[in-house]
């Protein structure tokens, strides 16, 4: 397994390190290795010999920072040390004593600090749980207000390792150099305003130690380009036809929200699904035909408010005839009977938008516990609270794990860092997204895309892996569209036009990486 995928809690990382030390690796030797890798990275980020301030905490994170400062000093950087604590761990105290012997200036009060071009944050490492108090809180506020670039070692000081919560205050880093394995807090929304650009510093933890603690399939994983692409129905067989590439039924739209049906259909189209049927109110059928001429548009009887009143599927067809069903965008809440009907089917089902709202009214957990087929829920924060009002939202990873376990569904919790869980507790986190996706309709695109991928899967992939792939693909399209259009927001129609280019770019990127590694695909 690629270490870029693996996410750990503070307790897990502590146990992995204990195994490293128990095997004979001296703490001092590991600190030298880690700090050497950090200093090499910093020299690439700031290649000219500049003035650098080192913020030193009482633990081994402070020791790492001191060794980095020493190495930069030897390479011509002008270094000063901020060491405000009265007590330090033994190894950190020894490094502090040594840097003082090199005539590197050391300070205890922020009022005495000289200026610098960038700072290295080594105040607190992983495992911090108590709130930061004065005078360190004031010092952190001072550094944040200085507008000086800050490089945090492992994670910004003041960030809870697991939840990403801000413990009173926290360093607002420009870069975060995460050590060894990704810490869970760095992928939680609470921390996003503080971590800057995060990257992993791999210091060669043996996989045997990681597997001994996490198992060979870690419970919380990070979606990467490589992992996302492995769950795509590619390459297609040379001999195939449309009926072998899945048949997706979308149930969406209303007279009031016709656009939701169009956008969901365009997302499904991009998935490559072999057959696409879309059930909509009869009055908007011509509109759907004009945008999706290749799809089978099923006009259904409608209520006085323009919602679907009854599913009238083609002759010799029922809900079990479809490889997958996606239901919800633009439906309105006047479709309780329709949602109940699809919940009773035995086809894999994606529920979104008003499909989720109706489910919440029916009672999420007791309703889903009766289902005999795969269900995927794709709520945003508000919908999640309505679906699972008893679940605490303090830790998004724990919240989505609990929701999936209780409901038996795969749950995709939308947000800046999408979290996906299956009923067995496996979690995928999408580490990349863009605020440009904060536009109405972008979730509808995801619903169509996801439904199309599930319809094509034929049980070849775990359902949570398919959901993770759809999440990755959707976010990459948003990122690409934002780069080429505007970060002020990407409208849903434009987003659908970037799905295929984003996939092509992802596949090209993967090929380039494997060729560099000496493997040509």
Residues 6 or more apart from 90 whose CB is under 8 A from it?
Answer: none
Distance of alpha carbon 317 from alpha carbon 347, whole angstroms = 13
Whether 418 and 412 have beta carbons less than 8 Å apart is answered as: yes
Among 160, 195, 217, residue at a domain's last position: 217
519 part of a folded domain: no
459 part of a folded domain: yes
Distance of alpha carbon 436 from alpha carbon 33, whole angstroms = 39
521 part of a folded domain: no
3-state secondary structure (DSSP) of residue 369: coil
Residues 245-286 have pLDDT tens digits of 899 999 999 999 999 999 999 999 999 999 999 999 999 999
One domain, residues 195 and 264: no
Instruction: Give residue 519's pLDDT.
Output: 40
One domain, residues 71 and 208: yes
Distance of alpha carbon 163 from alpha carbon 155, whole angstroms = 12
Whether 411 and 377 have beta carbons less than 8 Å apart is answered as: yes
One domain, residues 210 and 234: no
Instruction: Give residue 514's pLDDT.
Output: 52
One domain, residues 40 and 63: yes
The strands making up 410-413's β-sheet, listed across from edge to edge, are 220-222, 427-429, 419-421, 410-413, 375-377, 349-351, 324-327, 247-251, 275-281, 296-300
Q: Is the pLDDT of residue 461 over 50?
A: yes
270 part of a folded domain: yes
How confident is the model over 483-503, as a mean pLDDT?
92
287 part of a folded domain: yes
Percent of the chain with pLDDT strictly greater than 70: 98
Burial of 281 (0-12, 13-18, 19+ CB in 10 A): buried
Instruction: Give residue 521's pLDDT.
Output: 33
One domain, residues 182 and 329: no
One domain, residues 158 and 137: yes
Q: Is the pLDDT of residue 515 over 60?
A: no
One domain, residues 179 and 299: no
Domain that residue 209 falls in: 3-217
**Nearest CA to 64 among 136, 23, 121?**
121
How confident is the model over 42-49, as a mean pLDDT?
92
How confident is the model over 221-247, as a mean pLDDT?
90
Instruction: Give residue 217's pLDDT.
Output: 85
One domain, residues 380 and 500: yes
How confident is the model over 425-430, as a mean pLDDT?
96
Q: What is the mean pLDDT of the chain?
A: 94
How confident is the model over 101-112, as a mean pLDDT?
95
pTM of the model: 0.93
Annotated binding site for AMP: 443
Domain count of the chain? 2
One domain, residues 154 and 241: no
Annotated binding site for K(+): 61, 121, 157
3-state secondary structure (DSSP) of residue 277: strand
Residues 358-417 have pLDDT tens digits of 999 999 999 999 999 999 999 999 999 999 999 998 899 999 999 999 999 999 999 999
Instruction: Give residue 460's pLDDT.
Output: 86
Q: Measure CA 456 to chain center.
A: 24
One domain, residues 49 and 145: yes
446 part of a folded domain: yes
Q: Is the pLDDT of residue 11 over 70?
A: yes
Annotated binding site for (6S)-NADPHX: 60-64, 125-131, 154, 330, 380, 444
Q: How confident is the model at residue 513 (pLDDT cuts 50, 70, 90)?
A: low
8 part of a folded domain: yes
Q: At 121, which CATH number? A: 3.40.50.10260
Q: List beta partners, residue 96.
A: none
**Nearest CA to 198 among 150, 166, 163?**
150
Q: How confident is the model at residue 241 (pLDDT cuts 50, 70, 90)?
A: confident
Q: Is the pLDDT of residue 516 over 60?
A: no
497 part of a folded domain: yes
Among 184, 217, 250, residue at a domain's last position: 217
Q: Is the pLDDT of residue 520 over 60?
A: no
Annotated binding site: 60-64, 121, 125-131, 154, 157, 330, 380, 443-444
One domain, residues 264 and 213: no
Q: List beta partners, residue 175.
A: 151, 197
Q: At 325, which CATH number? A: 3.40.1190.20
How confident is the model over 26-43, as a mean pLDDT?
97
One domain, residues 203 and 237: no
Residues 163-198 have pLDDT tens digits of 999 999 999 999 999 999 999 999 999 999 999 999
Instruction: Give residue 239's pLDDT.
Output: 85
Among 217, 249, 281, residue at a domain's last position: 217
Q: Measure CA 89 to chain center.
A: 35
How confident is the model over 43-65, as a mean pLDDT?
95
Q: Which long-range contacts (CB under 8 A, 24 or more apart) does 405-409 make?
A: 406/365, 407/364, 407/365, 407/368, 407/369, 407/375, 407/377, 408/368, 408/369, 408/371, 408/375, 409/368, 409/375, 409/376, 409/377
Q: Is the pLDDT of residue 477 over 70?
A: yes
CA of 341: how far to CAs of 153, 204, 315, 344, 482, in Å? 53, 53, 18, 5, 39
């Amino acid at each position: 397994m690629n270490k870029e995928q693996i996410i750990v809690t503070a307790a897990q990382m502590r146990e992995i390190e204990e195994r490293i030390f128990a095997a004979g690796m001296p703490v001092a030797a590991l600190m030298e290795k880690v700090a050497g890798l950090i200093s090499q990275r910093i020299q690439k980020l700031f290649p000219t010999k500049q003035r650098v301030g080192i913020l030193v905490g009482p633990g081994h994170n402070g020791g790492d920072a001191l060794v980095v400062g020493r190495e930069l000093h030897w390479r011509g950087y002008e270094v000063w040390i901020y060491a405000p604590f009265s007590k330090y761990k033994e190894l950190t105290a020894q490094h502090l004593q040594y840097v003082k012997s090199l005539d590197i200036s050391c300070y205890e009060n922020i009022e005495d600090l000289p200026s610098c071009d960038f700072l290295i944050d080594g105040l607190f490492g992983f495992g911090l749980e108590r709130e930061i108090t004065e005078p360190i809180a004031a010092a952190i506020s001072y550094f944040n207000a200085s507008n000086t670039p800050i490089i945090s070692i492992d994670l910004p000081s003041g960030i809870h390792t697991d939840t990403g919560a801000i413990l009173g205050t926290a360093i607002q880093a420009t870069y975060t150099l995460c050590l060894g394995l990704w810490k869970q807090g760095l992928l939680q929304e609470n921390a996003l305003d503080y971590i800057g650009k995060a990257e992993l510093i791999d210091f060669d933890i043996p996989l045997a130690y990681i597997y001994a603690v996490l198992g060979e399939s870690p419970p919380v994983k990070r979606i990467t380009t490589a992992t996302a692409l492995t769950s795509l129905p590619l390459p297609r067989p040379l001999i195939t036809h449309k009926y072998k590439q899945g048949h997706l039924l979308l149930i969406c739209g209303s007279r009031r929200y016709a656009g939701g049906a169009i956008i969901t259909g365009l997302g499904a189209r991009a998935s490559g699904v072999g057959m696409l049927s879309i059930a909509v109110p009869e009055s908007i059928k011509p509109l759907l035909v004009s945008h999706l001429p290749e799809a089978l548009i099923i006009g259904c009887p409608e209520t006085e408010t323009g919602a679907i009143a009854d599913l009238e599927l083609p002759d010799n067809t029922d809900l079990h005839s479809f490889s997958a069903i996606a239901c919800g965008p633009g439906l309105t809440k006047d479709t309780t009977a329709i949602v109940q009907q699809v919940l009773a089917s035995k086809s894999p089902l994606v529920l979104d938008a008003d499909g989720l709202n109706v489910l919440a009214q029916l009672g999420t957990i007791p309703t889903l516990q009766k289902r005999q087929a795969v269900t995927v829920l794709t709520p945003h924060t508000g919908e999640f609270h309505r679906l699972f009002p008893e679940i605490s939202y303090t830790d998004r990873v724990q919240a989505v794990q609990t929701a999936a376990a209780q409901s038996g569904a795969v749950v995709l919790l939308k947000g800046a860092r999408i979290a996906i869980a299956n009923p067995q507790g496996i979690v995928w986190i999408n580490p990349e997204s863009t605020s440009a996706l904060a536009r109405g309709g972008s979730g509808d695109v995801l619903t169509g895309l996801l439904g199309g991928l599930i319809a094509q899967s034929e049980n070849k992939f775990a359902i949570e892996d398919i959901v993770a792939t759809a999440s990755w693909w959707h976010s990459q399209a948003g990122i690409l569209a934002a780069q080429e259009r505007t970060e002020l927001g990407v409208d849903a129609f434009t987003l659908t036009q970037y799905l295929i280019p984003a996939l092509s770019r992802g596949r090209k990127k993967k090929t380039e990486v494997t060729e560099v590694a000496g493997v040509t695909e």
